[in-house]
Amino acid sequence: MLINNKNYGSYNLHTIKTDRFKTCHVELMFRNNVNVEELTIRNVLFDTLLEGSKNYETNRLLNLKLQDLYNASVYSVTSKVGNMILTSFCIDFLVPKYSDEEIIDESFKLLFELIFNPLVTNNEFDKEKVDYVKIKLESELKSIVEHPRKAAIIDAFKTLGNCPTSYETNGRVEDLPKINQSNLYDYYENVLKNDYIDIYVIGNLDMDKVDKTIKKYQQFDIIKTHDVNVYVKNEKRKLIKETKTTNYFQTNLVFLLNLYNLTDFEKKYVANLYNIILGGGSLQTKLSKKLRIDNSLCYNVQSSYMKYDNMILISTGVDVSGEAKAIKLIKDAINEMKTTITDEELSEAKELILTSLKMTEDSPSRMVDNLLYHDLGLIDVLEERLVNFKKVTKEDIYNLANKINICTIYSLKGSLNETN
């Protein structure tokens, strides 16, 4: 595996030459500071770009071209990482060994065609395509209420107030009527002007040829100099308790734990192991033992470490009658992390995370994540991470646990009896 990084001013090129995969993965990553007012229009923009271009005006024409490229696929993914918004515009195609040599040029040509030659007339996107994308996004946003656990998590984040953690990545329904084909084009130009651009290419390719091909088709020409801050502002938070009653059978509980004033080592290593032992690992986590195994209160309870938000999220669904007991047991598990961790729990947590780290080279998307976060100075190289996770002691976790406080307990309370 050969890794290479080049800074061309208006964009950065990152290549990983590897024969692990039969396909090549390419990401054009657009990244910037998150702005709640732009989340909805950002999703509409990149979905609209995927609807076609001047040379591929219909889905049928675009799909025929993808078929010609041995069933290549194009897609976009928008994600929020702390205070940073990322949108990856991607194409996956067979490496030349399993297709032909022309596929490199044709695939990059298509990807940049969709970005730089959109279906625009007089500085306006095609109205029919924009309306279609807006309707589809509206349906997705409204469907959240059909998933009570996700709805509870979104509501819990709102208790944090106006901060990036509380923003829904896909945007807001109320923003959709404000978006039209004209201001969408204005935002398109804004993204090209202000977003940092990273191009990731992973596969068994001639990377010198890839570099030349990208130079031939890319049109990025603006050097960005502003800061993109990943970590959400770290601050002390007081406990907020909120309850909302619904017609669901279950009560969905969400706890948000605030991690305040952690060291760099604690953020990178100790907090990960804390989370795995608490509820982010196997069925033998503290939360799972207390709620599921010992008391049969739920089918699933999980915790997630939101490193760049300085948060740990706990979520579960319990029977309406079991809510109070579940809240007490979750608090018990959090308190237990301050004083009582067994050698076996720590050993299993380390084994789980070390195994996961060693698998990062099994997925192109995880390879991209590793490159991105390392280049931003947010993670260490793989070998260093493997060593440092092994160094973490129970005392390290106890010290961390005493820096954690519950800042939100949110209950999306069920009101229906299963016998009704």
pLDDT band at 112 (very low <50, low <70, confident <90, very high): very high
Q: Return the bridge partners of 87, or none.
A: 30, 78
What is the β-pairing status of strands 120-121 and 124-125? antiparallel
Answer whether residue 230 is part of any domain: no
pLDDT band at 419 (very low <50, low <70, confident <90, very high): very low
Answer whether residue 222 is part of any domain: no
Across 261-279, average pLDDT: 97
Give me the amino acid identity at 288: S
Segment 1-32, tens digit of pLDDT: 899 999 999 999 999 999 999 999 999 999 99
Q: Are residues 268 and 200 located together in one domain of the fold?
A: no
State how far the Cα of 46 lies from the Cα of 168, in Å rounded to an integer.
Answer: 17
State how far the Cα of 373 lies from the Cα of 388, in Å rounded to an integer.
Answer: 17
Q: How many domains does the chain have?
A: 2
Contacts with 351 (C-beta within 8 Å, 6 or more apart), sequence order:
none
Give me the amino acid identity at 108: F
Q: Are residues 338 and 251 located together in one domain of the fold?
A: yes
Answer whether residue 226 is part of any domain: no
The end-to-end CA distance of the chain, in Å, is: 60
State how far the Cα of 106 lies from the Cα of 103, in Å rounded to an integer.
Answer: 5
Instruction: Write out the residue range of the structural domain in which residue 402 sits.
Output: 240-413
pLDDT band at 113 (very low <50, low <70, confident <90, very high): very high
Helix (H) or strand (E) holding 33: strand 23-33
Q: Are residues 20 and 147 located together in one domain of the fold?
A: yes
Last residue of a domain, one of 186, 217, 248: 217
Q: Are residues 285 and 203 located together in one domain of the fold?
A: no
Report pLDDT for 417: 53
Segment 76-91, tens digit of pLDDT: 999 999 999 999 999 9
Answer whether residue 223 is part of any domain: no
Q: Are residues 318 and 353 located together in one domain of the fold?
A: yes
For residues 301 and 279, the answer to whether their CB atoms sit within 8 Å is yes
State how far the Cα of 86 lies from the Cα of 177, in Å rounded to an integer.
Answer: 24
pLDDT band at 418 (very low <50, low <70, confident <90, very high): very low
Q: Are residues 394 and 272 located together in one domain of the fold?
A: yes
**3-state DSSP assignment of residue 352:** helix
Most confident of 167-181, 274-288, 359-373: 167-181
pLDDT band at 414 (very low <50, low <70, confident <90, very high): confident
Q: Are residues 171 and 317 located together in one domain of the fold?
A: no
What percent of the chain clears pLDDT 70, i.e. is strictly above it? 99
Answer whether residue 342 is part of any domain: yes
Instruction: Give how far Cα 375 sits from Cα of 11, 201, 248, 370, Å.
Output: 14, 15, 45, 8
DSSP notation for 165-230: GGS-TT--GGGGGG--HHHHHHHHHHHHHHSEEEEEEEESS-HHHHHHHHHHH--------S----
* CA–CA–CA angle 124, 89, 363 (5° rounding): 170
Q: Are residues 244 and 210 located together in one domain of the fold?
A: no
For residues 364 and 21, the answer to whether their CB atoms sit within 8 Å is yes
Across 250-254, average pLDDT: 95
Q: Are residues 251 and 161 located together in one domain of the fold?
A: no
In eight-state DSSP terms, residue 109 is: H
Across 142-162, average pLDDT: 92
- Which two structure tokens, joined as six digits, stand for 195? 């977003």
From start to end of 221-260, where are the E strands? 240-245, 250-259
pTM for the whole structure: 0.93
Report pLDDT for 101: 87
Segment 229-246, tens digit of pLDDT: 999 998 889 999 999 998
For residues 94 and 103, the answer to whether their CB atoms sit within 8 Å is yes
For residues 9 and 195, the answer to whether their CB atoms sit within 8 Å is no
Segment 174-226, tens digit of pLDDT: 999 999 999 999 999 999 999 999 999 999 999 999 999 999 999 999 999 89
Contacts with 305 (C-beta within 8 Å, 6 or more apart), sequence order:
271, 272, 274, 275, 280, 312
CATH of the domain at 67: 3.30.830.10
Answer whether residue 224 is part of any domain: no
Please give the mean pLDDT across all residues of the chain: 94
Nearest to 121 by CA among 190, 38, 169, 184: 184
For residues 330 and 317, the answer to whether their CB atoms sit within 8 Å is no
Q: Are residues 194 and 93 located together in one domain of the fold?
A: yes
Last residue of a domain, one of 217, 251, 270: 217
Answer whether residue 252 is part of any domain: yes
Contacts with 235 (C-beta within 8 Å, 6 or more apart), sequence order:
260
Report pLDDT for 216: 97
Q: Are residues 63 and 184 located together in one domain of the fold?
A: yes
Q: Are residues 165 and 245 located together in one domain of the fold?
A: no
Answer whether residue 67 is part of any domain: yes
